[in-house]
Amino acid sequence: MLKCEICGNPADKHHIVYKSQGGIEFPLNFRYLCTHHHRGKTGPHKNRRLDLEYKLSMQRKLEDILIKEFYLVEELESLLKINKGMIKRLFKEYKQSDKGYKRSDIIFKLMGRKKYDENMILESKILEEVTFKTRV
């Protein structure tokens, strides 16, 4: 049985980049979370800041793993554990040179065609504070 990464209770698979955002099935896109830490108030579906933190840390992992400028399908398959067919479908809009797909295109696409940065998290923190103050 899968266990929650935070508390150890039985867990579901959470997709860091949601399937509805273009997220795909591969290990780096998964977090294992119990109902409370997944769908609860402090989980990524209800807490925008946490959602962004998960996404930013996934993007950083991708940046750490993919250090070359170009990657071939076979390399991506073994580095990221994404099957070949999926990679080809995913990147068919991008040109593949003889060296492969461009690093920046790969990361952008795997993040659901978005680039995340620290500012987005800061903005969501400010928004949280404002919401909190208006509630009080």
Q: Using CB under 5 A, list all residues that contact Zn ion.
A: 4, 6-7, 9, 14, 34, 37
Q: Which is nearer to Zn ion, 6 or 50 (CB)?
A: 6
Tokens 């108030």, residue?
41
Q: Output b/e per residue, 42-71; b: 16+ Cβ within 10 A.
A: ebbeebbbbbbbbbbebbeebeeebeeebb
CB 56 within 8 A of CB 28: no
Query: Shortest distance, CB of residue 62 to Zn ion, whole angstroms?
Result: 19
* Cβ-based nearer residue to Zn ion, 47 or 83: 47
Q: Which is nearer to Zn ion, 40 or 85 (CB)?
A: 40
Q: C-beta of 32: minimal distance to Zn ion in Å? A: 9
Task: Give ∠ CA 98-62-83 in degrees, rounded to 5.
Answer: 60
- Cβ 40 to Zn ion shortest distance, Å: 9
- The residue among 14 and 109 lying less far from Zn ion, judged by its C-beta, is 14
Q: How far is the CB of 31 from Zn ion (least distance, A)?
A: 8
The CA-based angle 66-68-70, given to 5 degrees, is: 100
